[in-house]
Amino acid sequence: MIRSIRSGLFDAGATALSRQQSALSKVQERAMTGLSINRPSDAPDRLAEVHRLRAANADQVQWSANAERAEGLLSATDLALGSVTDLLAEARQFTVNMLSETHSAATRATQAQRASQFREALIELANSDIDGRYLFAGSDYGDVAFDPSGVYQGDTDIPSMEVGAATSVEVGADGSDVFQGAVDVFAVMDALGTALQTNDTAGLQAVLADIDAAVEQVIGHRVRLGGHADVAEDALEVSTGLQEIFGQRMDELTTADPAATYTELAELQGSYQATLQVVAKGARDSLFELI
């Protein structure tokens, strides 16, 4: 049998109190910060997963931001092309009107300036920008897409944005393809002006056909942009969903469960008080007090 000695009670009490204090301080820290990982040693294995999740979440945040920005750029581009379509429709109606036999050659000549106005408006639309980013300048979007004479200043590369893992969407347009592809809309307006000046009704008829082809050309690009906008929207939805999942998992890994933490805190405080009382009572009960 092990011989029990009185000083052992104090030694054991001191050791137990020290351990309990250490455990208490850890639980108190969890309760105060609300975090289950306050330093690497709290959960070194979980930490690696937290790092991976944070990195993956940061990617999703960036892709969400890119998708939103892509949607904005694509929407602005589509809006500009919508205006181009409207302007071409207006030019077409004007051309139809000018074909009327009620117009004299002189009237047609005086209306030739409208063709120049259409042309200038189209160039203005082709130079649409958002915060200095020219939508139809290809990847050279730092400068205007077309100079005042209608010469293309951009390039043929279409910029894109990453909106997911191995997923990109085009966020601009090659202006030379949109406005000067199969049909050169500026040249069509030039032809309209020339036909009006020269009272060339056959020429006006040809312009009508060119305007229709130009509208088809623009609509084709709008359809393409719409496809990219759909990809961006889908990517945004996926990214947002993944951020929620990653966020929940990170919370599970790093957030201290309040109920469990406070229960543990109460248990530790109880055992700490009990140990204190045992040591204090042991100190009072000495045989020397009785003799």
Partner 1 sequence: MSVIGALRTSARGLGAAAAGISVTSQNVSNVNTPGYARRSVEQSTMDPVDRRGISYGQGVSVDRIHRASDALLGARYVQARGDSAYAGALESALKVPEGYFDESSSTGIVEAYDAFFDAMDALAASPTDHSLRQGVVVAAQGFAGIVSRTAEGLDDAIAGLDAQLEGGLGDVNRQLGEIAALNDAIAARRGEAPDLMDQRDQLVDEVAGTLGALAEYDASGQLTLYVGGHAVVSGGAARTLSVADDAAGVAQLYVSADSGRIAVTSEVGGELGGVIAAREKTQGYLDTLDAFATAFAGALNSQHAAGFDPSGAAGGAMFSVAAVDAAASLRVDASLAADPDLLALAGAASATAGDTDNLDALRALGEDSSIFAGGSGHDVLSTLVSTVGHDAASASSALESADASLSDLGTLYESIRGVDSDEEAIKLLEYQSAWRASAKVLAAADEMIQDLLGI
Binding-site member from 138, 164, 175, 193 for partner 1 (CB under 8 A): 138
Under rule CB under 8 A, residue 38 binds partner 1: yes
Binding-site member from 72, 142, 241, 258 for partner 1 (CB under 8 A): 142
Stretch that binds partner 1, among 40-48, 115-123, 184-192, 226-234 (CB under 8 A): 40-48
User: Could you give the CA distance from residue 131 to residue 143 in angstroms, rounded to a whole number?
Assistant: 11
Angle between helices 44-98 and 201-254 (to 10 degrees): 170
Closer by beta carbon to partner 1, 106 or else 290: 290
3 state DSSP class of 130? strand
Under rule CB under 8 A, residue 6 binds partner 1: yes
Closer by beta carbon to partner 1, 104 or else 142: 142
Number of H helices, E strands in the chain: 8, 4
Distance in angstroms between the alpha carbons of the first and the last residue of the chain? 27
Binding-site member from 20, 66, 77, 239 for partner 1 (CB under 8 A): 66
| CA nearest neighbour of 252 among 57, 49, 31 | 49
Binding-site member from 5, 106, 202, 223 for partner 1 (CB under 8 A): 5
Under rule CB under 8 A, residue 281 binds partner 1: no
Buried b (16+ CB within 10 A) or exposed e, 15-44: ebbeebeebbeebeebeeeeebbbeeeebe
User: Could you give the CA distance from residue 174 to residue 172 in angstroms, rounded to a whole number?
Assistant: 7
Under rule CB under 8 A, residue 291 binds partner 1: yes
Q: Which residues bind partner 1 (CB under 8 A)?
A: 2-8, 11-12, 15, 19, 33, 35, 37-45, 47-48, 50-52, 54-55, 58-59, 61-62, 65-66, 69-70, 132-133, 138-143, 154-155, 157, 159, 161-162, 172, 286-288, 291
